Amino acid sequence: MQVLSSLILSSAGLAAAYDLPSNLKQIYDTYKTGKCDNVLASGFDDGGSGTDVGYCGDIDGAIFLYGTADGGVYADMDIDCDGADNSAGGCSNDPSGQGVTAFKDLVSDYGIDDLNANIHPYVVFGNEGASPSFKPDDHGMEPLSVMAVVCGGKLHYGIWGDTNGDTSTGEASISLAKLCFPNEDITGDSGHSGNDVLYIGFTGEDAAPGSKADWTAEDSATFEESIKSLGDKLVAGLDSSSSPSSDARTPILGGPKMGPGPIIPFRPTSSFATSTPIATSTPSSSMVSSYPYPSATGTPTWTPRYVRNH
């Protein structure tokens, strides 16, 4: 019966949700306090109710979103339809979809033009182009690395696939939202409004699946299965013994950052870099910025970064 159920879910493009391992459940319960000792950035919103959201670095090797308000909340799950076929399927009514994701030029190395929100379960993580801002790669996260998402009381895996050009957080591709909440009416214009979703990113090069992920998969269940073993390994390594101190402060909305983590610059491989910076874009669709990274030879190279405007 278990095998039959798995086959039915796979044929429907849906992956079976995974139970929370004990360490991850403890982390989820612990950080519902709305406190964090190592606040990497704060003053963000959930794109709706205005709940104050921040990025926390309390757990070694991880960065996660947490609700800084008292009462124990996390983020919600708004829908992102950016990338290839951005108006297909349930994304047909998305009022803000764009035809490009932040890491389009990187993922093209794996045989696809861009991420497809209807296939690739990705998380919109990081905020650029507004104040406050937060760049996960400045703290050791690699683009297209595996992320763990606790949603609906279960665990799913996705990748870091896009960034937000404003101060909104709690956003994921429509395929990830449908995996998390299969019984909700998920469309490009309707996500999950509950502030109960925990998004965890992992630092270090080992968190990026690279060519081991099935980037050319035809459905989200197949893609998620291709990154599950790596996700399981990363989650197993999370230290659940860490917890915010009793006197940890909740940052004031828009206030100064407290306890910043180490700055670890992201250095892409030579295949990810291009010698000519991109200087122009269409403001109404996507904002493109280019900035130098040291190459292996010490010569600055330029890597394009596409940033959402909303």
Tell whether the model's pLDDT for residue 296 goes beyond 60. no
What's the predicted TM-score (pTM) here? 0.77
Q: What is the per-residue pLDDT across 78-109, written as a single tens digit (0 to 9) for each?
A: 999 999 988 788 898 877 778 899 999 999 99
Q: Which residue has the tokens 């959930």?
A: 46
Q: Higher confidence at residue 263 or residue 189? A: 189
Q: How far apart are CA 204 and CA 61, in angstroms?
A: 7
The H or E element that residue 54 is part of is strand 53-56
What are the helix and strand counts (H, E) for the chain? 5, 11
Q: How far apart are CA 42 and CA 2, in angstroms?
A: 43
pLDDT at 259: 43
Among the residue ranges 143-157, 161-175, 219-233, 292-306, the one predicted with the least confidence is: 292-306
Give 181's pLDDT tier (boundaries 50, 70, 90).
very high
Give 196's pLDDT tier (boundaries 50, 70, 90).
very high
Rg (CA), the chain: 18
- Three-state SS for 64? strand
Token duo for residue 80: 């992102």
Give 248's pLDDT tier (boundaries 50, 70, 90).
low
pLDDT at 301: 41
Q: Higher confidence at residue 249 or residue 194? A: 194
